[in-house]
Amino acid sequence: MRKQDFLPEPLSTAPFTFGSALSAGVTLNRLRRKDVVNVGRGLYRPADWDFDLEGAARALSAASPGAWISHVTAARLRRQPLPPWLADSTELHLSKPRSLPSVRRKGVVGHTVFTLEDEIELIDGIRMSTRSRTWLDLARILPLNGLVSMGDELIRIPRVDFEGRTQPYDTVAGLSMLIGRHPNLQGIVRAREALDLMRVGADSAPESLLRLAIVDAGLPEPELQVTLRAGDARSPSADLGYRHRRLAIQYDGGHHLGDAQIHSDRRRDKAFEAAGWTVLVFDKSDLADDFQRAVTRIKRALRNGWLDHPQAAGFA
């Protein structure tokens, strides 16, 4: 009988476990060839494999009974907002209960944590921490503003037409309960601080960071999703703003670059301007300097707004 010289799919295209290799008829001797790399106990990959986070996490999860994908890896798989220095991380984070031996795999960051059953879920065959538990785990890693941004996404009311869901991933009350379950977890103090700063209404991480930069500068906290006509669901809205000062603040991200969106944004801004509002629009260049120039412009606009509307002097 002729020996099998090739690896069958899917073993030839992604990391795999020893068990899945045996099930596919691949022998131990075949796994010792140079086109296969042993990356840890019972875990292999093709030598020419280009790193793919989902494929790596799936194989690691399958090779680690009782453990789960967590921390930065879980956040990346779900596309939760992360700061730039973590957004492209290829580290694999694996958590396990204390009853299992320590994680010792090359390229894998192991965590021994206490968790409850409803804080772990199976997503497309990968066992991983829930979005909310991932947020809590990252409290010891992320800076405060990054943790607030991730938390704002969890509690944001989704737009059904674009996201196909009607409920937020979690609520302030739900996250408060989660924090209460783990009073001794590393980073728990920062998680409590972040929860106090989180607000419903931010549609993106940059919007959250802009709001925090405004507050850090000692300015009044802006409203979120400010409609031109209060109480009118069809009214144009600003990402942030000060109704009493007639100041609308927009953050236009990458999805605002298309012609149709640019036209829609301009129509939105003209509606505010026609009603006597000042409109400030910021983008990724403002994000790059942590919104320092943006805050200066907002201060100037608020000062001018006070001169134009002295009846709002109490709003300072």
Instruction: Give the start-to-end residue ranges of the domains of the chain.
Output: 1-49, 51-200, 201-316
Instruction: Compute the half-sphere exposure of residue 18: CA atoms within 13 Å on the CB side of its CA.
Output: 10
Biggest distance spanned by C-alpha atoms of the chain: 92
pTM: 0.83
As its CATH architecture, domain 201-316 has 3-Layer(aba) Sandwich (3.40)
Please write the tens of the pLDDT for every residue from 108-162. 899 999 999 999 999 999 999 999 999 999 999 999 999 999 999 999 999 877 7
The residues that bridge with 69 in the sheet, in sequence order, are 94, 128
The C-alpha atoms of residue 80 and residue 68 are separated, in whole angstroms, by 17
Higher-pLDDT residue of 164 and 316 is: 164
pLDDT band at 15 (very low <50, low <70, confident <90, very high): confident
Q: Do the Cβ atoms of 148 and 212 come closer than 8 Å?
A: yes
CA geometry: angle at 86 spanning 81 and 90, to 5°? 115
Which structure tokens are listed for 23? 């099930």
What number is the average pLDDT over the span 290-313? Answer: 78
pLDDT band at 1 (very low <50, low <70, confident <90, very high): very low
Return the SS3 of 153: helix
The C-alpha atoms of residue 285 and residue 278 are separated, in whole angstroms, by 21
Please write the tens of the pLDDT for every residue from 243-277. 999 999 999 886 555 566 778 889 999 999 999 99
What number is the average pLDDT over the span 103-111? Answer: 84
What number is the average pLDDT over the span 194-215? Answer: 97
The C-alpha atoms of residue 274 and residue 277 are separated, in whole angstroms, by 7
The C-alpha atoms of residue 53 and residue 73 are separated, in whole angstroms, by 8
Please write the tens of the pLDDT for every residue from 54-82. 988 998 999 899 999 999 999 999 999 99
Task: Give CA 66 to chain center in angstroms.
Answer: 25
- Exposed/middle/buried for residue 163 (C-beta within 10 Å: 0-12, 13-18, 19+): exposed
One-letter amino acid at 114 equals F
What number is the average pLDDT over the span 16-20? Answer: 82
Q: What is the pLDDT of residue 209?
A: 97
Task: Please provide residue 64's backbone torsions phi and psi, each rounded to the nearest 5 degrees.
Answer: -130, 70
One-letter amino acid at 202 equals A
Residue 13 has pLDDT above 80, yes or no: no
Residue 222 has pLDDT above 50, yes or no: yes
The C-alpha atoms of residue 35 and residue 211 are separated, in whole angstroms, by 51
Q: Do the Cβ atoms of 241 and 301 come closer than 8 Å?
A: no
Q: What is the pLDDT of residue 260?
A: 64
